Amino acid sequence: MRLTVICVGGKMPGWVNAGVDEYGRRLPREFKLAWREIPLARRGKDSKPEALRRAEGEQILKAIPVGDRVIALDVAGRPWTTPELARQLDDWQMSGDNFSLLIGGPDGLSGDCLARAERRWSLSPLTLPHPLVRIVLAEQLYRAWTITVNHPYHRD
């Protein structure tokens, strides 16, 4: 199984890349976690959020590997507990499918991206900065994997 995280924005601070890389290194080879960055749409004083979402959304949709099942990270999505995420991860692995997880830009995901997703997942009802979302996502994927293999990292 391969998970591709498609996220808007680039030039993350070193601490973000270090955190994401650290959790990625901890995952086994059979759990492939790839990151694809989509550049932010050009913003100006007259930019409209819907136009920005649409422009970024077009690029996100083009970046989804053919055949991938899609999960959108969306504040209005369904929150999962860590054990629920572990069950999801186990189901994803057993399906034999590949998945893309979508992280929108500052204005969120376009309607087309949300429509393409089979599920919407909320990491938190809080508004999180995009750099932090990447680290939280990487850590939670690692934590969920540890649950599926009875590794002692996660404690109930």
Domain encompassing residue 144: 2-148
Nearest by Cα to 154 from 26, 32, 33, 31:
26
pLDDT digits (tens, 9 = 90+) for 91-148: 999 999 999 999 999 999 999 999 999 999 999 999 889 899 999 999 999 999 999 9
pLDDT bracket for residue 156 (50, 70, 90): confident
Cα distances (Å, whole numbers) of residue 132 to 34, 63, 124: 17, 22, 12
Please state the residue numbers annotated as binding site.
Answer: 73, 104, 123-128
Residue 138 lies in a domain: yes
Amino acid identity at 15? W
pTM for the predicted model, two decimal places: 0.94
Please state the residue numbers annotated as binding site for S-adenosyl-L-methionine.
Answer: 73, 104, 123-128
pLDDT digits (tens, 9 = 90+) for 17-45: 999 999 999 999 888 999 999 999 998 98
Residue 122 β-bridge partners: 79
C-alpha triplet 84, 89, 91: angle, nearest 5°:
95
Mean pLDDT, to the nearest integer, of 66-90?
96
CATH of the domain at 40: 3.40.1280.10
As for how many domains the chain has, the answer is: 1
**Cβ contact 69:94 at 8 Å:** no
Residue 78 lies in a domain: yes
